Structure 1
């Protein structure tokens, strides 16, 4: 049995000001996005992309992540509370972000970005999708450092006690998500997108991969106390991930067939 190290959530103390690990994980994700994007521009034939365009895409995406993530948390997880206290949606320092909300925010942001550049939506998303997983992994590592979003009780050899919560050995579900949503999904998307693919299929693979990994890991993650498990014994995260998988499968089939039709025309 392991014990969570109980890291100080503040990475750097500067008098009364502190830089939190979670903020550094966001920064790591954004910098990784830029670094990987510049590599793709230099080594792979992504027509029309420049360093300036990449920087602009990050700006749009960051706004989508923050605004969508916060609104998604308020609406998906604590709608009743935030409808009664709408101004507290702006209190980002209180914590509470939803991946699925952030994902929807990024979709809207990238749609606006594509229109502003006269480009197709999936042309943008197929370039962006492989740049995202390492940032997701960094976010999950931030969750682990903070000792939040812990797992369900377990007796596996690597089960971990989170002393700030209780003395029960639990799945370190944050690390599962770091591995699957961050590392494995990155490798899968980076490999698949390294060769020319039908437009939309890279985006579809992201939807299928993330949705499937998140759905599976949720079986080991402790449900939110204020929600618990929902219909069919599934968590909110699982119910929000199912549409991603379904949409991804549909998009992959449609995109592949469309490309095949054009090839045979």
Structure 2
């Protein structure tokens, strides 16, 4: 199969990335509905709907804002305006969705943690979306720097590059298995699984961004990496608890 993968049907070009994005939303939502039907949910349906709306609005705004900051355009031309309108990133979507949920919960007075039920569906959605990113090759800014590493691939420009989308697919699969096993094995406080997902995914992206050919940096870090730093600051109390818990386990051993 040639990358970028750009199939056509009856002479009509098919945007496989666009299709897989919608498949990701559909499958992720159906998986969420399945989980909610088969698990106890202490949040009422009305409040859960408000939370979903808050998450959706926050994710939309966050994905656009961070997408623009990833490679800011200072010269306003017709072409650059189109790029700005199409700029988006899952990292901004996740963190924006998190803030949207927290704002929605404060508005409706909901005290229960709400993220655990969304966690596995989010991973499934990102996984499907990343398949589309990989198939787009260098037409989608998820490719890596040129490399002589044995995993390097020609993603459409004739240069062997780190296939970052494939690296992420492997990471997401491992993370899904790990978190699902935690859910089956342990009874954890509400919100723990989502927090672990955010810390793991943002930590992964913080590291893998060093393999990405970014062009805009602030103090040596890209916009995505600074968002990862902000996310870790947001969850600093959780990090302290995890480190303390791990320290106690090591001491017992």
TM-score range (shorter-chain normalised) is 0.7 to 0.9
Aligned partner of 1:74 in structure 2 is 68
Alpha-carbon distance, 1:201 to partner: 2.2
Deviation at 1:37, TM superposition (A): 1.6
Distance in 1 (CA, whole Å) between partners of 2:66 and 2:84 is: 16
Deviations 1:120-158 (A, max 9, x none): 2x6112322332112122222221111122111111222
**Of 27, 35, 43, the match for 1:48:** 43
Structure 2 gap segments, 5+ residues each: 245-253
Deviation at residue 191 of structure 1 after TM alignment: 2.8
Residue 246 (structure 1) shift:
4.1
The question of whether the paired residues in 2 share the 8 Å contact of 1:208 and 1:249 is answered with no
TM-score when normalising by structure 1: 0.73
- Aligned residue in 2 for 1:109: 100
Q: Which residue in 1 is equivalent to 2:177?
A: 187
**Judging changes above 3 Å, is the alpha-carbon distance between structure 1 residues 105 and 235 closer, same or farther for their aligned structure 2 residues?**
closer
Call closer, same or farther: CA 1:246–1:48 in 2, change over 3 Å.
closer
Distance 1:12 1:64, change over 3 A: farther
What are the superposed Cα offsets for residues 157-211 of structure 1, whole Å, 9 maximum, x if unpaired?
2211133x3x32111111112222x322322333334443123322321221011
The residue number in structure 2 matching 1:261 is none
Q: CA 1:57/1:7 → structure 2, altered by over 3 Å: closer, same or farther?
A: farther
The structure 2 residue matched to 1:150, chosen from 135, 140, 143, is 143
SS in 2 for 1:196: coil
C-alpha change, 1:138 and 1:56, in structure 2 (3 Å) is farther
Partner of 1:260: none
- CA 1:74 to 1:93, structure 2 compared with 1: closer, same or farther past 3 Å? closer
User: In the alignment, which residue of structure 2 is the partner of 1:5?
Assistant: 3
Query: What RMSD over aligned residues (CA atoms) do the two structures have, in Å?
Result: 3.5
Q: 1:250 to 1:25 in 2, by over 3 A?
A: farther
> What SS does the corresponding residue of 1:218 show, helix, strand or coil?
helix
Deviates more, 1:189-198 or 1:138-147: 189-198
**Distance (whole Å) between structure 2 residues aligned to residue 250 and residue 79 of structure 1:** 36
Q: Tell me which residue corresponds to 1:263.
A: none
Range with bigger deviation, 61-70 or 135-144: 61-70
CA distance in 2, matches of 1:220, 1:75: 18
Report the CA distance between 1:21 and its aligned residue. Answer: 2.0
Tell me how many residue pairs correspond in the alignment.
240
